[in-house]
Amino acid sequence: MSDPYEALRRLLSDAGYAFVEPPVVHPASVFVELAGEDLRRRLYLTSAEDGTELALRPDYTIPVCLQHIEGGPARRRANYAYLGPVFRLRPGESGEATQAGIESLGRTDRVAADADVLKLAFAVTTLFGVKRPRVIIGDSALFAALLDQLDLSPPWQRRLARAFGDTARLKGFISKANGKAKAVASRSELDGASVAQVKAAVADHFAATGLGGVGGRTAAEIAERFVEKAALAQGIPARAAATLSAFLSINGTPVEALAMLRALAKRDKLDLGKALDRFEKRAEAFAGHGIDLDRLAFAADFGRRLDYYTGFVFEFRQSKAASEPIIGGGRYDSMTAHIGTSREAVPAVGFAVWLDRFGVQR
Amino acid sequence: MSGPLILAVPSKGRLQADAQALFARAGLEIAPTGGKRSYRGQIEGIAGVEVAYLSAPEIAREIGAGAVHAGITGRDQVEETVPDFAARTELLLPLGFGRCDVVVAVPEPWVDVETMTDLDDVAADFRPRHARRLTVATKYINVTRRFFAGHGIADYRIVESLGATEGAPSSGAADIIVDITTTGATLRANGLKVLSDGVILVSEAHLVASRTMAWDAGQKRALAAIVAKVKAVAR
């Protein structure tokens, strides 16, 4: 093979993806807002003459979506491909890496789009001679559906949803289920007070300290959460904790996982509804696209820790022993709602290839 | 190649006075070479030592970069200023002065926030409610990022503060702060409280050595002599 990058370009173009080259430099706020302070510490920052903070792109997904939105109505269907440098501060490594990838926007036949994208990711590994990659798949929509069915107070639901993908943290929360919680003795004289009473006390407090200016947390919001905290201190009910533990330990091929999820739903009387149906349909679509389901390792606790993923996610690794992904991707249906001016959520799925980790040199 | 041991000492303020006094008690008089305003000095009684007067953050940076062999600076400065500080520096000896805690402090009226887990809930809820991220004023940017990441908090934005950080919440420049405190009096006077698990690090001045600098036998001997003398009188 003469030029591996050229071969990859041909593969992605032939699959119907049009190559784009969005700008390298963007306002830093775009990346910070979408991916959080955690990514910010990896950003190469500089500033414009007027002091605006600028950053070198740490990935292509956000810049490609920005370009898509600027180019017309967000809802239109478009398939993009890219290949070029991305920049992330990494201790002891070069901060510049070459990434290739695709973004498929606007397809409402989500299950088929997921299958197309996964199949193309397999084709990329084949192109670069990786014969048996380890492919991990996950689905945060299943976890969201589960949380919906459990007897949990809203603040606990939010806490658990946020921790998805960080299994150690989730297990920490679960271990503090009823009875096992170290009594969080709140020493406040406000314990047991109503929202209105707490609100009045907080307002007094704001007045006395001269804090609570415009745009910050309001007395009402603090009072609401103070009263809600009683529910948090209770911990997770023991039954819900048992269901969560069982769910998080589910892993296997999609067929095995589906059977286990069904068994759990039956045992604990859960209705995982549409999320489970979609999981099954997606697995069928994979098989229909000629993907060997035995090659996929589903893990119920697998989530990629980037704010923008919304459901199906996947990672390819060189081998079972490898810890770093060579390809990472998934569905991010809410990204377009957070950027640009239209604020419209558009179906989106894609993946990024870490070419340097394949050992591919041109 | 054998040169002198380069020891960086604080050039101004309380830290400079305390360091000077401690070394004097140990029989190590630090004196500027060539007049009071010089930025170079020597230690009377120990040959082969060159003193460089620098600010505390500069001392930490130079030790990390391997531009000086050792120096006197706060642990807070080392952890903030030196990337990968555990591999690049070694805290040889606590010196018993310059004590301060780096803490997370929130407005006292936030009666619902007592722990970092509370803060995580509030941070995650902040953007949907206020259409912006929770802001943290601090000059300890790296220390803050590591600590918040360790508590799983990602929904916040740092506002770099160059002084009087404790005033940021009342002026509206930021919602909460990460700053140093000794007694907590300044925080209280500004209507702020420290979270129960919000003490990020307990700091004091240390004699710190560089692991990235090339050391020869003479330099090692000179440092060992200084450590022995200071150890005898520190604390």
Query: In the prediction, which pLDDT does A63 show?
Result: 95
Domains of chain B, residue spans: 5-98+204-233, 100-202
Number of H helices, E strands in chain A: 15, 12
Determine the Cα–Cα distance for residues A315 and A304; give it in Å rounded to an integer. Answer: 9
**Which overall architecture, per CATH, does domain B100-202 show?**
3-Layer(aba) Sandwich (3.40)
Buried b (16+ CB within 10 A) or exposed e, A170-187: beebbebbeeeeeeeeee
**B147-165 per-residue burial string, b: 16 or more CB within 10 A, e: under 16:** bbeebbbbbbbbbebeeeb
Q: Distance between CA B154 and CA A336 in Å, rounded?
A: 20
| Integer Cα distance of B60 and B86 in angstroms | 12
Q: How far is A202 from chain B (nearest CA, A)?
A: 5
The pLDDT tens digits for A65-102 are: 999 999 988 899 999 999 999 999 876 778 899 999 99
Is A225 an 8 Å CB contact of chain B? Answer: yes
Neighbour tally for A298: CB within 10 Å: 26
Q: Are A326 and A358 in contact (CB under 8 A)?
A: yes
- CB pair distance less than 8 Å for B110 and A32: no
A190 in contact with chain B, both atoms CB, cutoff 8 A: yes
d(CA A328, CA A108): 22
Q: Which of A91, A158, A216 is facing B175, going by the closest CB pair?
A: A216
Contact A103, A65 (CB under 8 A): yes
Q: Which of A34, A124, A87, A60 is nearest to A326 (CA)?
A: A124
- pLDDT attached to residue A186: 54
Token pair of B187 as six digits: 């925080």
Res A169: pLDDT: 86
Q: Give, in order, the Cα–Cα distances in Å from B73 to each of A297, A342, B79, B90, B141.
A: 51, 52, 11, 12, 18
- Residue B78 and residue B96 in contact, taking contact as beta carbons nearer than 8 Å: no
pLDDT in tens, A292-332: 999 999 999 998 766 677 889 999 999 888 888 999 999 99
Angle in degrees, CA A356, A43, A4, rounded to 5: 20
Please report residues of B whose CB lies closer than 8 A to that of A38: 149, 154
Q: Which residue has the tokens 């979609």?
A: A278
List the single residue in B with minimal CA-CA distance to A205: B109
Give me A301's structure tokens: 């606790």
Is the Cβ of B189 closer than 8 Å to some Cβ of chain A? no
When the candidates are 3.90.1150.10, 3.40.190.10, 3.40.50.1370, 3.40.50.300, the CATH number that belongs to B5-98+204-233 is 3.40.190.10
The span from the CA of A108 to the CA of B204, in Å, is 59
Q: Does B133 touch chain A (CB under 8 A)?
A: yes
Name residues 41-60 of chain A within 8 A of B (Cβ).
41
Residues of A in contact with B108 (CB under 8 A): 205, 209, 211
Return the number of other C-beta atoms located less than 10 Å from residue A140's C-beta: 21
Q: Which residues of chain B have pLDDT under 50?
A: 1
Cα A360 to Cα A60, A130, B87: the distances in Å are 19, 11, 31
Q: What is the pLDDT of residue B149?
A: 86
CA distance B53 to B62: 12
Chain B contact for A188 (CB, 8 A cutoff): yes
Residue A40 has what pLDDT? Answer: 74
Check B154 against A226: CB less than 8 A apart: no
In single-letter form, the type of residue at position A83 comes to: L
| B198 at interface of A, judged by CB pairs closer than 8 A | no
CB-based contact B135:A250 (threshold 8 Å): no
Q: How many CA atoms lie within 13 A of A305 on its CB side?
A: 15
Per the CB < 8 A criterion, the answer to whether B152 and A166 are in contact is yes
- Chain A and chain B share a number of CB contacts under 8 A equal to 101
How many other CB atoms are found less than 10 A from the CB of residue A106? Answer: 17
Query: Quick one: which of A11, A47, A5, A8 has its CA closest to A26?
Result: A47
Mark yes or no for CB contact A37/B130 under 8 Å. no
A33 touches chain B (CB under 8 A): yes
Q: Do B114 and A186 touch (CB under 8 A)?
A: yes
Contact A30, A56 (CB under 8 A): no
Amino acid found at A309: Y
Look at residue A158 in the predicted model and tell me its pLDDT. 86
Six token digits for residue A10:
């041909």
Pairwise CA distance, residues A278 & A262, whole Å: 13
Compute the distance between CA of residue B14 and CA of residue B99 in angstroms, rounded to an integer.
Answer: 11
Q: Determine the distance in angstroms separating the CA of A1 from the nearest CA of chain B, rounded to an integer.
A: 41
3-state class (DSSP) for residue A132 = coil
Whether A209 contacts chain B with CB within 8 A: yes
Residues of A in contact with B110 (CB under 8 A): 217, 222
What chain A holds in terms of domains, given with CATH numbers, is: 4-133+345-358 (3.30.930.10), 134-179+237-317 (3.30.930.10), 195-233 (no CATH)
Residues B60 and B72: beta-carbon distance below 8 Å: no
- Look at residue B43 and give its three-state secondary structure: strand
Q: Which residues of chain A have pLDDT under 50?
A: 180-185
A212 contacts B107? CB cut-off 8 A: yes
User: B100-202: same fold as B5-98+204-233?
Assistant: yes
**Which residue type sits at B215?**
W
Name the H helices within chain B: 13-25, 56-65, 75-81, 85-88, 116-130, 141-150, 168-171, 185-189, 217-233
pTM: 0.78
| DSSP secondary structure, A229-264, as one string | HHHHHT---HHHHHHHHHHHT-EESHHHHHHHHHHH
